[in-house]
Structure 1
């Protein structure tokens, strides 16, 4: 089960904290008009919500819904974070498969987007799972920060705690998407999965010297075939995409630093400054100097 979550809206946190029951304990019955988030640190929690039973274990994320009764079904020791909150645009989604396909497409659009645009490349809706096992504990530090803000009760403490909660929810949505895409990639044909991985690889490694042979070897596929599939899925050839990444990041450096153009060319992976100037003009319609003057309002 999934919930659509408008990431342009902050959740409104009412209370948050951390509880440790070292002796077996059973959850009391209640029905609330707000969401309750549980993240289990250690132990177990056994719940029934709206007639459905859940067994929560260490590392689990679980979202209780407003208006539905929940009650414990079995005693157990448990150590967990809890957060009570509302959100104006957090709603249950009926077609989870369509929602995940939509989010995967947003990820693809984001990966190939121009990062200097003021607007985000996709809309603000992401999707949260109801029950999900978190793979690691690193972003649970966001919950600890939310609890610390809430307990300190300093100025704007609930707003600050809400921003940590918001970040945690977005991280969870991302981790859930990655888990779903790993399952999807096992179903996709090998070339489609390779293109998705290649886009991520190029985004991280465009400053290095990349050759068709190195790419072919890394992804264990014929380069010409991989390039055809890449072009069909992204609208760009592999090396055109690499050049786009390099020039887009060169534009960022020209606009925000006083580095020489030769240094900028080197930093984005182009060793020949004359080729850099030709490529820059080809992709932007202006020379690096003209772009510098435009970016500085000269």
Structure 2
């Protein structure tokens, strides 16, 4: 089972140590148990680590958390030139009055540049004796942790959107020979159609109805290739209101009228 690192919404983290590591020789992570949580961020190369018998491979642009009091070690050497940051901080303690936030175990950052800016600003403060450097570092660490939470949330929502879009498309394919019915789709998925349309548009760039028309035209083209049906018969089989409307939609999707398409088909 993955060991997740937690944080509290209204509490600044307390940084203990940080730095950048770039081995000049093949290097293998030592076998140890720490009393602090540690954020790793890989800039170049690949890092392998095992935590509580679970193997992880960290690639460039990925963040990873090692949890306090969990045994971790390296199973294979890290190649020279691989580069990563480490940021160790005091573990947050659960609070009875608020729900904790659990940081992603491993995350590929969608905007690594801004995250690197935060880490570099922290590192400059860590190496300086500037006034309030500790407080400023902890504030930046708080910002970095929330950046990871936000990107993890966005990626999860995108994944959910893609999964829901696939279900919507499956419903559309089952009713290609029926008139478009938004209520049937909503009932089939037990969701509000306005919500479905918003998620589908964000994921595919197309409305559900536009996508449905494209699927119907794809089916019409399949029928032109496979069966000896005239255009009126295809229009009727796919439940278009009339052949004229079928021709109009066909041209909107393909750029050709059905008759022009057929003429190209049989040349």
| The structure with more radius of gyration | 2
Deviation at 1:153, TM superposition (A): 2.6
Do residues 181 (structure 1) and 142 (structure 2) align? no
- Residues 221 and 3 of structure 1: CA distance in aligned 2, closer, same or farther (over 3 Å): same
Measured on the aligned residues, the alpha-carbon RMSD in Å equals 2.7
> What TM-score do the two structures reach when normalised by structure 1?
0.52
- Residues 193 and 144 of structure 1: CA distance in aligned 2, closer, same or farther (over 3 Å): farther
> What TM-score do the two structures reach when normalised by structure 2?
0.58
- Residues 4 and 196 of structure 1: CA distance in aligned 2, closer, same or farther (over 3 Å): farther
Do residues 80 (structure 1) and 91 (structure 2) align? no
User: 1:1-12, aligned counterparts within 5 Å?
Assistant: 1=2, 2-12=4-14
Deviation at 1:137, TM superposition (A): 1.8
CA distance in 2, matches of 1:24, 1:132: 25
User: 1:114-133, aligned counterparts within 5 Å?
Assistant: 125-133=100-108
Deviation at 1:164, TM superposition (A): 0.9
Do residues 220 (structure 1) and 207 (structure 2) align? yes
- Residues 193 and 143 of structure 1: CA distance in aligned 2, closer, same or farther (over 3 Å): farther
CA distance in 1, matches of 2:94, 2:118: 20
Aligned-partner SS, 1:76: coil
In 1, are the aligned partners of 2:5 and 2:37 still within 8 Å (CA)?
A: no
In 1, are the aligned partners of 2:104 and 2:152 still within 8 Å (CA)?
A: yes
In 2, are the aligned partners of 1:26 and 1:74 still within 8 Å (CA)?
A: yes
Query: Which residue of structure 2 aligns with residue 51 of structure 1?
Result: 53
CA distance in 2, matches of 1:65, 1:90: 15
User: 1:133-148, aligned counterparts within 5 Å?
Assistant: 133-138=108-113, 139-148=115-124
Aligned match of 2:133 in 137, 157, 160? 157
Do residues 195 (structure 1) and 198 (structure 2) align? yes
TM-superposition CA deviations, 1:24-77 (whole Å, max 9, x none): 211112111110110000011111111111111111111001111111111123
CA distance in 1, matches of 2:71, 2:12: 25
Aligned-partner SS, 1:56: strand
Give the structure with the larger strand fraction.
1
- Residues 45 and 174 of structure 1: CA distance in aligned 2, closer, same or farther (over 3 Å): same
CA distance in 2, matches of 1:75, 1:15: 24
- Residues 4 and 197 of structure 1: CA distance in aligned 2, closer, same or farther (over 3 Å): farther
User: Structure 1: which 5+ residue stretches go unaligned?
Assistant: 92-122, 201-217, 223-298
- Residues 90 and 23 of structure 1: CA distance in aligned 2, closer, same or farther (over 3 Å): farther
CA distance in 2, matches of 1:52, 1:62: 13
User: Structure 2: which 5+ residue stretches go unaligned?
Assistant: 169-192, 210-267
Aligned-partner SS, 1:165: helix
CA distance in 1, matches of 2:11, 2:60: 29
Deviation at 1:193, TM superposition (A): 4.7
Aligned match of 2:40 in 38, 41, 51? 38
Query: Which residue of structure 2 aligns with residue 272 of structure 1?
Result: none
Aligned-partner SS, 1:14: strand
Q: What is the number of residues matched between the two proteins?
A: 174
